Structure 1
Amino acid sequence: MSLFRSTVIACPSCGADIPFEECDSVNADRRPDLREAILEGSFQSLPCPGCGETVRMEPQFNYLEVGAGLWIAVFPGRMMPDYIAVEDAITEVFETSYGARALPSAREIGAGLDVRLVFGWPALTEKLVLRAAGLDDVTVELLKLDLMRRLPEADMGPGRELRVTSVEQDALNFVWILTEREVPMDGFAAHRALYDAIEEAPGAWAPIRAQLTDGPFADMQKLFIGEGRAAAE
């Protein structure tokens, strides 16, 4: 079931009150229209009745798509620096809903789900685009690191992220995004052969893959934030 609750937010442009149906969870198997709205960028977005400016709610909900094997916890981009604490919290939620502490029927569903944590709308959209294209999201994060080596002029670091926006037969299309404002900047295409080369050399990438998958936040951004989970523990 997809769950919403009524709230009121202030327009960031004019301050007018905007009645809003804020999302707590999305079940994309039952509501594929919500998945399409996320991909289109229209989900949780509406015009302000006062000034007409388009306002989009910060994301904070759980996304379930059993058919695609995905359970994603979505949080605002501004919360990314606290990813370890958020990982711990959402792991508890998943364990209760579909993991070890869930009912047997729910555990059966959970066994087929990849658990992910993302921060911001672009990161969620990327996960859905990659899953639809049949690409492994962790391999794509490794590809991003490889691209940074090939593009030494790239200004990578906290507050600036690289996201896949679409996948073609022979290429992955990337765009640079300012994390908190979610403002798209320059983009480029990377040949699919670069992705395939990483898939074909698992041993060479194993140490970094292990770092990326030590929690549900499987994102290269974590490598630029603090000392990581091992140091925190």
Structure 2
Amino acid sequence: MSMCEKEEIQCPVCGTTGEFEMWKSVNTVLNPEKKEQLLSGSLFQYICPHCGKSYNIDYPMLYHQMEDQIMIYYVVQEEDIQMVEEQFRGDFGSAESELTKVLKKDMDSYLYRIVGSQRELMEKIRIFDAGKDDRIVELVKHIISDAVADKNPDLRDANLYYLEEDGEFLFVVVNSKGALGTVPIPKGMYEDMAEGVRDKLPDLRSRSEFRIDRAWASKALGME
């Protein structure tokens, strides 16, 4: 199911209070239009009805792409990660939340992920929509990120995010100032990496790993 809660937001500029819809759970079968709003960022944007100022509103979200059996939980508070991991594994305890109601159904074949930012949530959706393995993408990203930092030391703390544009696969370079540009993924690099680690990774839909990010890639590559 999808779940939307209405919250009152006070504009920090003009002080006017307005209503904002927080989509705590999005099911792409029930509300397919919300997927595009999520990918565009508008699902997290509040626009003041008085002065027109736009603000990003941060809140946790369960993204459920039911037609492809994919579930991604965006966690805002680090302390909630363990709870989500336990519930993804089927250990519900006494918890009774939107997540447990969904997970108590037969979902052993699902692909589960936990992300820690809105950009990461959008990226995971794009990766899976492209039919790619996010673990391979993270390994490729790690290598390219190091190459970018070697040429541009100021970008050592920048993050890369997967994007498909005009049929070309790219990484968008983002730092504290925002998106700085794109870096193409060298032709065949994804396929070569996938072939090289094919026998070393568990099934993509196994419930063994939920956080697939730079820290995971560093560990997988033996760099930490």
The TM-score bracket by the shorter chain reads 0.7 to 0.9
Determine helix, strand or coil for the equivalent of 1:43. Answer: helix
Unpaired segments ≥5 residues, structure 2: 93-97, 202-206, 220-224
Corresponding residue pairs, total: 203
> Taking structure 1 as reference, are residues 194 and 5 closer, same or farther at Cα in structure 2, changes over 3 Å only?
same
Which residue of the partner structure matches residue 231 of structure 1? none
- Residue of 168, 182, 190 corresponding to 1:187: 182
CA RMSD of aligned residues (A): 3.0
CA-to-partner distance for each residue in 1:1-36, whole Å, 9 max, x for gaps? 211111112334444323111121111121111111
**Bigger shift: residues 63-72 or 43-52:** 43-52
Which residue of the partner structure matches residue 218 of structure 1? 212
Q: Take 2:17 and 2:108, find their aligned partners in 1: how far apart are those partners?
A: 43
What is the TM-score of this pair, normalised by structure 2? 0.77
CA-to-partner distance for each residue in 1:37-93, whole Å, 9 max, x for gaps? 1122221323212321122321311111122221111134xx5xx3xx433111234
Q: Is the 8 A contact 1:161 1:221 kept in 2?
A: no
Q: Is the 8 A contact 2:23 2:43 kept in 1?
A: no
Which residue of the partner structure matches residue 89 of structure 1? 83
Which residue of the partner structure matches residue 193 of structure 2? 198
> Taking structure 1 as reference, are residues 172 and 91 closer, same or farther at Cα in structure 2, changes over 3 Å only?
same
Answer yes or no: is 1:128 the counterpart of 2:119. no
Which residue of the partner structure matches residue 172 of structure 1? 169
> Taking structure 1 as reference, are residues 128 and 167 closer, same or farther at Cα in structure 2, changes over 3 Å only?
farther
CA-to-partner distance for each residue in 1:113-165, whole Å, 9 max, x for gaps? 111111222111111111111111111000011213433235334xx321012
Between Structure 1 and Structure 2, the one with more helix by share is 1
Which residue of the partner structure matches residue 75 of structure 1? 75
Q: Residue 214 of structure 1: CA displacement?
A: 6.2
Q: Take 2:99 and 2:38, find their aligned partners in 1: how far apart are those partners?
A: 24
CA-to-partner distance for each residue in 1:169-220, whole Å, 9 max, x for gaps? 4x421112236x8x2222221134111110111179x49xxxxx96411111
Unpaired segments ≥5 residues, structure 1: 208-212, 228-233
The aligned runs of 1:113-124 (5 Å cut-off) are 113-124=110-121
Aligned-residue sequence identity (percent) comes to: 22
Determine helix, strand or coil for the equivalent of 2:172. Answer: strand
Which residue of the partner structure matches residue 153 of structure 1? 151
> Taking structure 1 as reference, are residues 59 and 167 closer, same or farther at Cα in structure 2, changes over 3 Å only?
farther
Determine helix, strand or coil for the equivalent of 1:200. Answer: helix
Q: Take 1:111 and 1:52, find their aligned partners in 2: how far apart are those partners?
A: 45
Q: Take 2:22 and 2:209, find their aligned partners in 1: how far apart are those partners?
A: 27
Q: Is the 8 A contact 2:2 2:31 kept in 1?
A: yes
Which 4+ runs in 1 deviate beyond 3 A?
Answer: 12-16, 96-99, 221-224
Which residue of the partner structure matches residue 51 of structure 1? 51
- Residue of 122, 132, 137 corresponding to 2:134: 137
Q: Is the 8 A contact 1:46 1:54 kept in 2?
A: yes
Determine helix, strand or coil for the equivalent of 1:184. Answer: strand
Determine helix, strand or coil for the equivalent of 2:43. Answer: coil
Q: Take 2:184 and 2:122, find their aligned partners in 1: how far apart are those partners?
A: 17
Determine helix, strand or coil for the equivalent of 1:52. Answer: coil
What is the TM-score of this pair, normalised by structure 1? 0.74
**Bigger shift: residues 214-223 or 55-64:** 214-223
